[in-house]
Amino acid sequence: MRYGYFDNEHREYVIDRVDTPVSWTNYIGTKDMCGVVNQTAGGYLFSGSSEYHRITRFRPNGVPMDFPGHYVYLRDEADGDFWSVSWQPVSKPLDQAKYVCRHGLSYSKYLCDYRGIHAEQTLFVAEDDPVEIWDVVIRNDSNRVRNLSAFSYCEFSFHQIDMDNRNFQMSLYAAGSRYADGIIEHDLYYEEDGYQFFTSNFEPDGYDCLRDAFIGAYHTERNPVAVERGVCSGSAELGGNHCGSLQKRITLQPGESVRLIFLLGEGGVESGKVMRQRYANAAAVDEQFEKLRLFWDKKLEKLQIQTPNDGMNALINIWTLYQSEINVIFSRFSSFIEVGGRTGLGYRDTAQDAMCVPHSNPDKCRQRIVELLRAETRAGYGLHLFEPRWFEPEQKQQSFRSPTVIPTPDRASIVHGIKDACSDDALWLVVSVAQYIKETGDFAFADERITYADGGEESVYDHLRRILNFSAEQVGQNGICKGLRADWNDCLNLGGGESTMVSFLHYWALDHFVPLAEKLGRSEDATYYRAMAEHVKDVCERVLWDGSWYIRGITADNRKIGTHTDAEGKVHLESNAWAVLSGVASKERGEQALRAIQEYLYTPYGIILNAPPYTKPDDGIGFVTRVYPGLKENGAIFSHPNPWAWGAACALGDGKAAMTFYDALCPYHQNDKIEVRQSEPYVYCQFVVGKAHTAFGRARHPFMTGSAGWSYYAATEYILGIKPDYDCLSVDPCIPADWKEFSVTRVWRGVTYDIHVTNPNGVTCGVKRILLNGAPVAQIPQLSAGARCRVEVELG
Ligand code: GLC
C-alpha cells in the first residue's frame, strides 16, 4: 500500500493520501530557526533550541495525533461551512475534499480542493530573516462568486519546555499578548529576548491573540468558535495562553485567486513592523523561496550520482544528503519523538554526523567538531551530552534571573566523571577530523588551539592524541577496551567489562590518525601510534574470535557474550561489521564474520542488531537484556549499524552482499509497503521492528538517526568508492557484478570531477585503469579550483 511518490524532478515527496498511519515529517529552516512539521501542518517552531526557545507549542504523544500546528482555516460565508488548507485540524472526509502534501527540501506545501476552492499553503523559513513564512494562495475554481474568510492559527509556547509543562501558577501569568496595526506581539515577561510577532502582508479584518478566545471553551482546533461563528473576537491580554490568529475576508470571482502572506517571527512588534514591510510584496517571498532552492542546489551539486539503482539515486542525490544535513544543522533532539526535552549535542552522534557531510557543509561540520573538542576532557573522553554554549569563550549573561527556570549548571557538575563516560564517544571524532581535512585540505586546523572542558588548551592534534591514549589506557583484564557506561550501543553497559566494538573502533581511529600524523610531519607519533594499532590488532585477534564470528564483549565477571554457546545474543552486528570495517580481521575471518551476519542477522527489511534477542535480564550485559525482544537495541533492525555491514561487505570485495544489504534497508524500496513500514519512505528511521516482534518491519523514529550520515558515507565512499584523500581523490568502487556502469559528479576542493565507471568484465571490484581527461593516471590529483575534468575508471 502506498501513500505517495517521489517527484525527483522537483526534489519533493508527494503525499497524495494524507491519512498516513503515523506522522510523516519534514524540517523547515536552514539556520537557527527550525520547524518540524508533518503532512497535515501539525508541528512546532523553535529558534536555536527546541528545549529553551520553543516558539510554538506541540502536545507530544497526544490525542489527537500531532496537534497543534501552523494552520489556515477557510470558511464559506454563504453557509458557514469551514475546512483547513491542510487536512488537519478540521479533517474533512477525504472523499469530499482532496488533500495533498508536498514535502520539499526545507519547505512543505499543503494543497487542498474542496467545494470549488483550491487552496495552497507553503511553509518555509526565510533565508535572510528569522521568520517563518506561510505563503497561502486561494483560488475560486467554481463558477460563482465566493465570499470566504481565512483565519491563521498557531499556539505560542512558554519557550522553555519545562515551563510549558509545569508550574502553571507562575508560567501562565508570565506570557502576554497585544495587537496593533496588523501585528500580534507575544512575549514572555521573564525573558529578555522572549518576543515573537505574528503578522501578514494585508490589513486583517479581525484577530485573536488569546488561544481560549479563538478556540472556545469545550472546543478544539477542529472547530474553533471564532471560525464557527465567522469572526474573531479581538482578544489580547497579559497572562494566559496565546495564539496567532488573523482573519481576512475575501471575495473571489470565478477563476480569481488571492495570495496571503502570514509571518511568524522572532522579535517584538518593532521586528514585526520591519518584516511586514519587507514582505508586503509577495515578490520578496518568492525571492526567499528561490534563495532556499539555490541553498540546496549548491549542496546537492557537490555529489550527484547516476546508477542502475533508482532508490539509491533518489536517496543519495536528494533525501539522504538532506537527512544528514538536518542532523548536522539541528542536532538530534527535535522531532515528534524527541520533542525538546533534551537539547545540545550527543557526543558520539554529533561526531558521526559531522564525519559524513564535510563536502556539502564544511563550515557546520567544522563548527560541530570544534564544539566537540571543547567538550573533551583532558583525560581524553568526551562529555556524553552537553550544550555547546557551556564552553563558548563568550558567554551571554541575562541581566535578570527568572524565578522558575531550570538551575544553571556550574562547571563542576557539567564535567562528568569517567563513571558516566561512554567508551566510544570521542573515538569517532578522530575520524571526523581526518575526513574534514581530507575534504577541505585545511591542514592548519590540526594546529588550532582549543580548550578542554575541564581546563587548559592544546592543539586539535593533541586533543586527538589524548582520545587515542584514553582508549589505550582504559582496557580490561583481557586487554580489550573497557565498555564503561556504554559503547555505541547505549543499552550495552559493560562497565569494567570489555567491548569488542570499541577495540575495533580504537584500531580504526588509529588507522586514520597515523596517516594524518605522517602528513603533518610528526613521524615519531606516526611510529608510536602505528605500534599502538598493531598491538590493538594482535589483542583483538587473540581474544575476540569465537571460531565462526567475533564475540560482542566480555562482562566484568569475565563472561564472553556473543559466542556460539549463547542461547540469546549469540551473534551481534556491531562487532562483526566492525571487525572488518576497522581493518582488524583477516580476510578469512572477515568472510566468516560476514557469513554470520548473513545467516543470523539478515532480514528483507535490513540487518538485525543481535540474534536471538535477549529475554532474561542480565545486568552484567546491561539494559539491552531488559528491552522487549525485537525492539530498539534488542534485536531490532537498528538502522545506524546497517551501513557498517555495507562497508564491511565492500572491504571484502562482496558488492552483491553490499547491495543486498543496502536495498533491504532502503526506505525508497518500501514506498509501496506502508502497511508494514508505516513511516515515511523518504528517510531512514532509527529502527525497524525485528523478527522477534509481532510488528516486524514497522519503522520508527524518522530523520534523527545516525543511519542518515552513515548510509550516505557507506554508499558513496564504499559502494561507489569515491573517497577524498589528503592529496588525491580515490575511486575504488565495490558494486554488484551486473552493474555495467555508473556516473558520479563530485566537487572536491573546488574542482568538478565527472566520473564515469565502466565494468565491461562484470566484476565487483578492482580498478584496471583510470583516465583523466583521456590520459592514463595512477591516481586522481587535486587540480586548480574552478577546473572541470573527465575521469574514466574501468573495473576489471
Ligand atoms: C540512539 C542514540 C545513539 C546510540 C544508539 C544506539 O540512536 O542516539 O547515541 O548510539 O541509540 O544505542
Residue 638 in this model has a pLDDT that exceeds 80: yes
Question: 0.95 cut: is pTM over it?
Answer: yes
Residue 538 in this model has a pLDDT that exceeds 70: yes
List CB contacts of 186: < 8 A, sequence separation 6 or more. Answer: 156, 175, 176, 177, 195, 196, 197, 198, 209, 242, 244
Q: Count of CB atoms within 10 A of residue 259's CB?
A: 14
Which residues does ligand 1 sit against, CB inside 6 Å? 346, 348-349, 488-491, 633, 686
Q: Count of CB atoms within 10 A of residue 455's CB?
A: 10
Residue 490 alpha carbon to ligand 1 centre in Å: 6
Residue 129 is among the residues annotated as catalytic for this protein: no
The enclosing H or E element of 67 equals none
Residue 705 in this model has a pLDDT that exceeds 80: yes
Residue nearest to atom 10 of ligand 1 (CA): 488
What type of residue sits at position 61? N
Give the separation between CA 685 and CA 693, rounded to whole angstroms.
17
Residue 189 in this model has a pLDDT that exceeds 90: no
| Average pLDDT of the residues in 746-769 | 98
- In order of 26, 110, 336, 377, 674, the CA distances from 37 in angstroms are 5, 11, 9, 37, 20
State the closest ligand 1 atom to the C-alpha of 686, by its place in the atom list counted from 1.
Answer: 7
| Average pLDDT of the residues in 532-549 | 98
Residue 427 alpha carbon to ligand 1 centre in Å: 15
Of 290-304, 339-353, 396-410, 485-499, give the lowest mean pLDDT range.
396-410
Residue 488 alpha carbon to ligand 1 centre in Å: 6
State the closest ligand 1 atom to the C-alpha of 349, by its place in the atom list counted from 1.
Answer: 9
State the closest ligand 1 atom to the C-alpha of 492, by its place in the atom list counted from 1.
Answer: 12
Residue 395 in this model has a pLDDT that exceeds 90: no
Of 187-201, 202-216, 416-430, give the lowest mean pLDDT range.
187-201
349 three-state secondary structure: helix
Q: Which of these, 503, 505, 525, 504, lies nearest to 514 by C-alpha position?
A: 525
List CB contacts of 335: < 8 A, sequence separation 6 or more. Answer: 25, 36, 701, 702, 703, 704
Query: What is the torsion angle, in degrees rounded to the nearest 10, for the CA atoms of residue 391, residue 396, residue 400 and residue 405?
Result: -40
Under 8 Å between Cβ of 667 and 683: yes
pLDDT value, residue 190: 79
Query: What is the torsion angle, in degrees rounded to the nearest 10, for the CA atoms of residue 27, residue 30, residue 31 and residue 34?
Result: -20
Residue 344 alpha carbon to ligand 1 centre in Å: 15
Residue 646 in this model has a pLDDT that exceeds 80: yes
φ, ψ at 528 (rounded to 5°): -60, -45
Give the separation between CA 339 and CA 83, rounded to whole angstroms.
28
Give the separation between CA 160 and CA 704, rounded to whole angstroms.
21
| Average pLDDT of the residues in 739-747 | 98
Identify the burial level of 723 via C-beta atoms within 10 angstroms of its C-beta, where 0-12 means exposed, 13-18 middle and 19 or more buried. Answer: middle
Higher-pLDDT residue of 255, 395: 255
Residue nearest to atom 3 of ligand 1 (CA): 349
Residue 404 in this model has a pLDDT that exceeds 60: no
Residue 342 alpha carbon to ligand 1 centre in Å: 14
400 falls in which pLDDT band (50, 70, 90)? Answer: low
What type of residue sits at position 576? N
Where b means 16+ CB within 10 Å and e means fewer, 314-327 reads: bbbbbbbbbbbbbb
State the closest ligand 1 atom to the C-alpha of 489, by its place in the atom list counted from 1.
Answer: 12
406 falls in which pLDDT band (50, 70, 90)? Answer: low
Q: What is the 3-state secondary structure (H, E, C) of 526-590?
A: HHHHHHHHHHHHHHHHHHCECCCCECCEECCCCCEECCCCCCCCCEEHHHHHHHHHCCCCCHHHH
| Average pLDDT of the residues in 370-390 | 96
Rg of the chain over Cα atoms, rounded to whole angstroms, equals 27
Residue 677 alpha carbon to ligand 1 centre in Å: 21
Task: Round the average pLDDT of the chain to a whole number and report it.
Answer: 96
Where b means 16+ CB within 10 Å and e means fewer, 150-181 reads: bbbbbbbbbbbbbbbbeeeeebeebbbbbbee
Residue 679 in this model has a pLDDT that exceeds 70: yes
State the closest ligand 1 atom to the C-alpha of 486, by its place in the atom list counted from 1.
Answer: 12
Residue nearest to atom 9 of ligand 1 (CA): 349
391 falls in which pLDDT band (50, 70, 90)? Answer: very high
pLDDT value, residue 405: 53
pLDDT value, residue 398: 64
φ, ψ at 112 (rounded to 5°): -145, 140
Identify the burial level of 449 via C-beta atoms within 10 angstroms of its C-beta, where 0-12 means exposed, 13-18 middle and 19 or more buried. Answer: exposed
Give the separation between CA 442 and CA 433, rounded to whole angstroms.
10
Give the separation between CA 371 and CA 386, rounded to whole angstroms.
9
Give the separation between CA 494 and CA 559, rounded to whole angstroms.
11
410 falls in which pLDDT band (50, 70, 90)? Answer: confident
What type of residue sits at position 641? P
Residue 491 alpha carbon to ligand 1 centre in Å: 9
Under 8 Å between Cβ of 246 and 262: yes
Give the separation between CA 98 and CA 276, rounded to whole angstroms.
32
What type of residue sits at position 291? K
Q: Residues 74-105: pLDDT tens digits? A: 999 999 999 999 999 999 999 999 999 999 99
pLDDT value, residue 407: 63
Catalytic residue among 490, 618, 725, 732: 490
Query: What is the torsion angle, in degrees rounded to the nearest 10, for the CA atoms of residue 341, residue 623, residue 431 and residue 609?
Result: -110
State the closest ligand 1 atom to the C-alpha of 638, by its place in the atom list counted from 1.
Answer: 6
